Amino acid sequence: MTIPEPAGPDLAGVHAAWLPPEAFRAIGSRHTLVFGEGGLVGTVHDEVARACARYGGRVRRAEAGPYDLVLALTAGEPLPEAAAEVRPAEAVGDEGYVIARRDGVTVVLADGPAGLLYGLFHVVRLGERAFAGERRAEHHRPATRRRMLDHWDNVDVHPVMGQVERGYAGGSIFWRDGAPRGDLARVRAYARLLAACGVNAISVNNVNVHATEARLLTDRLGDVAAIADVLRPYGIRVHLSVSFASPVAVGGLPTADPLDEDVRKWWTGVTGRVYETIPDFGGYVVKADSEGQPGPFAYGRDHADGANLLAEALAPYDGVVHWRAFVYNHRQDWRDRSTDRARAAYDHFAPLDGRFRDNVILQVKHGPIDFQPREPVSPVIAAMPATRLAVELQVTQEYTGQQRHVCYLAPMWREVLGFRPWGPGGAAVADVIGGGDLVGVSNVGDDPYWTGHPLAQANLYAFGRLAWEPRLDPAAVLDEWIDLTFAPVANGDVERSRHTLHAVMDDSWRTYERYTAPLGVGFMVRPGHHYGPDVDGYEYTPWGTYHFADRDGVGVDRTRATGTGFTGQYPPPWSEVYESLAGCPDELLLFFHHVPYGHVLRSGSTVIQHIYDTHFAGAEQVIEARRRWEEAAGLFDPSLHARVKDLLDEQVRCAQEWRDQVNAYFFRKSGVPDAHGRRIP
Ligand code: GCW
């Protein structure tokens, strides 16, 4: 038996992330049976074989026991004895599995090969615990069908956005200077990491589709197929971002009108060729009529016409179109107070509910504006019962510190997924997309640590895990990540490294929120690159992101009574809660209301004092995080420790800059001094 080339852990100079070879120690030292047929079963076998080669265990494909671990497909006949005993009464689905331990044998049973792969990684997560005592049969199946990462990677280097739009981890792992990167070992290692946290779909190019990227659909399709080949053994399907204007841009047609017969034929033909080349191709991702991207509006058609055109072409192959709801007027006149960007997605899409084909998935950003550290949940999620929805999260930290700041995002995502749009008794966001899709914008690049900031790896891991099981506790997910990533290399003191990482990361999103834009008002970032403070940076621009601060007060009046009426896009009770000054949660107050600086929050503090207090506290917390990290120097790999330390220095600097600019700005506007007499420059 030849042992395949290692993928990932031994990739020269690249950090192993949550799959260091040691994570397989428990499996690699034991006797394992991998039972069943299919490509992914081969992957499972190879993973175990590689671990055994390192740790002295043994793996077989046919019964010749005894075994410590049996990984088997339920379809196999005859089922190995240990597996037959825990065979589930009902099917666990394509990706689900059962894990149990009886009489000294750990068993993973799955209906489909993908389930076996996910079951294997469950055993990896458990480590030695997988082989201790007895374990009653547990059934695991993903809450969402598609757990997808969108890469905003350009094939050509974009003059402003670079190789990866909003990428903070170096170049693309797929593309360099207009061409595919020849060596796909990095992509293979990525696929493996993603499978280990449950991701099963990737789109490989930016939603802003420029000229070269448009050709991925036609004469450059081979480049996409090569990536698909590498992802396939890990159960990951490839999707492609396409331009709505493709029939014109790469098809030579005079129009891209969705109701034009030649346009329809063009999409049908092109899509057929895609499936001839990549039979398990996932589908298209489309950003249309958004921030300058072409769309159906140019032809007087609506977004249902546009999305259905592509969906029709994909339908024979079970492909889907992810149609983004991020549609708004980015050429707004800042003087025009009647236009509210927060309203845009709902205003465009809610009236279309029921008109989309069933292989259209409307992809909705989690908040109504744009991935701010704090936004209410998008009202679109409750407004489209007859449409399949995907919720989109931003794993890449465009507005949350750009992978220079520690900002563990799982607590925010957990809040979003647990939010109940119809009130306490109703379904949660996770239920609305249940069986559907969770999409994240990837934070990965060719950086040796994958994510620029080594601790930002946790966001990628947590995205996958929450997409699989939205009810997981973010701190528990962090523990999983710590155990896999650091336990084997923690210089013997796992508990201390765990404490350090929790101290630095658990509350880091709220810390970030404290020292940046206050009370849900958003932005206040440097226009263009979006890093660091600039309170009025967007105030007089066409982008629709304003705070309206003057000498008396701050915030956006989005009420029905006196404002833009956005609160009316929510069903009760939220339409009432957000409308009411007294009922609105503090953290969203300035998203929904314009209030005087002396307004008293539910917390008892005034708005102005809250601004001062949180900004002083946030900057202090970053200093404390840095102190905790410095103290733990001996516990981590020295180069990783040094990289995080440098980044924490930058975070301290930047948080203080935020603190001082925001505090000074509001002190100068309001003239109200800090109640505690602290220095405001
Ligand atoms: O947040 C904004 C970003 C753009 C991005 C856009 C989108 C890919 O600033 O860089 O474009 O969102 O989501 O389409």
User: Which neighbouring-strand residues pair with 125?
Assistant: none
Rg (CA), the chain: 26
Does domain 9-140 fall into CATH 3.40.50.1820?
A: no
Q: Which two tokens stand for residue 358?
A: 């069933």
For ligand 1, atom 1: residue with the closest CA: 370
Return the H-helix or E-strand segment holding 322. strand 320-324
Residues sharing a CB contact under 8 Å with residue 536, sequence separation 6 or more, in sequence order: 665
* Per-residue pLDDT, 226: 98
Distance CA 551, CA 580 (A): 23
Q: What is the topology classification, in CATH, of domain 146-480? A: TIM Barrel (3.20.20)
In single-letter form, the type of residue at position 486 comes to: F
Distance CA 216, CA 154 (A): 11
**483 C-beta closer than 6 A to ligand 1:** no
Q: Give the position, in ligand 1's atom list, of the atom nearest the Cα of 441.
A: 13
Sheet with 58-60: strands ordered across: 58-60, 31-35, 69-73, 105-110, 97-102, 135-140
Q: Give the position, in ligand 1's atom list, of the atom nearest the Cα of 399.
A: 1
Q: Which two tokens stand for residue 357?
A: 């084909």
pLDDT means per 10 residues in the chain (681 residues)? 40 92 95 93 97 96 87 86 84 94 96 97 97 95 97 96 97 96 94 98 98 96 98 98 98 98 98 98 98 97 98 98 97 94 98 98 98 98 97 98 98 98 96 92 97 98 98 98 84 84 98 98 97 98 97 98 98 98 97 98 98 98 98 93 98 98 98 98 95
The phi and psi torsions of 294 (rounded to 5 degrees) equal -70, 160
Q: Where are the alpha helices (DSSP H) in 80-220?
A: 81-85, 113-126, 185-197, 211-214
The phi and psi torsions of 31 (rounded to 5 degrees) equal -100, 125
Q: Where are the alpha helices (DSSP H) in 99-256?
A: 113-126, 185-197, 211-214, 221-231, 246-249
* CB under 8 A, 24+ apart: contacts of 577-582: 578/376
User: Which neighbouring-strand residues pair with 179?
Assistant: 176
**165 C-beta closer than 6 A to ligand 1:** yes
In b/e form, how buried is each residue of 123-158, taking b as 16+ CB within 10 angstroms? bbbbbeebbeeebebeebbbbbbbbbbbbbbbbeeb
Residue intervals of the chain classified under CATH 3.90.1330.10 are 512-556+594-670
* Per-residue pLDDT, 65: 75
Which entry of 111, 398, 480, 513 is annotated as an active-site residue?
Answer: 398
The second-level CATH assignment, the architecture, of 512-556+594-670 is: Alpha-Beta Complex (3.90)
* Per-residue pLDDT, 79: 83
* Per-residue pLDDT, 6: 38
Chain centre distance of CA 609: 34
C-alpha distance from residue 578 to each of 368, 406, 589, 593, 599 (Å): 14, 30, 8, 9, 16
In single-letter form, the type of residue at position 420 comes to: R
Distance CA 99, CA 104 (A): 13
Distance CA 498, CA 496 (A): 5
**Three-state SS at 38:** coil
Residue intervals of the chain classified under CATH 3.30.379.10 are 9-140
Q: Where are the alpha helices (DSSP H) in 555-671?
A: 574-579, 589-592, 607-631, 638-670
Got the DSSP string for 255-283? ---TT-HHHHHHHHHHHHHHHHH-TT--E
Q: Give the position, in ligand 1's atom list, of the atom nearest the Cα of 370.
A: 1
* Per-residue pLDDT, 1: 33
Residue intervals of the chain classified under CATH 3.20.20.80 are 146-480
Distance CA 210, CA 8 (A): 31
pTM: 0.97
Distance CA 328, CA 368 (A): 10
Residue 370 bears catalytic tag: yes
Q: Ligand 1, residues 152, 443, 525: which to mutate, most atoms within 8 A of Cβ?
A: 152
Q: Ligand 1, residues 163, 285, 291: which to mutate, most atoms within 8 A of Cβ?
A: 291
**370 C-beta closer than 6 A to ligand 1:** yes
User: Which neighbouring-strand residues pair with 320?
Assistant: 283
Measure 341 CA to ligand 1 centroid, in angstroms: 14
The residue behind tokens 């196999």 is 76
What length does the chain have? Answer: 681
**326 C-beta closer than 6 A to ligand 1:** yes
Structural contact between residues 73 and 37, judged by C-beta atoms closer than 8 angstroms: yes
Distance CA 657, CA 4 (A): 51
Structural contact between residues 33 and 72, judged by C-beta atoms closer than 8 angstroms: yes
Q: Give the position, in ligand 1's atom list, of the atom nearest the Cα of 207.
A: 8
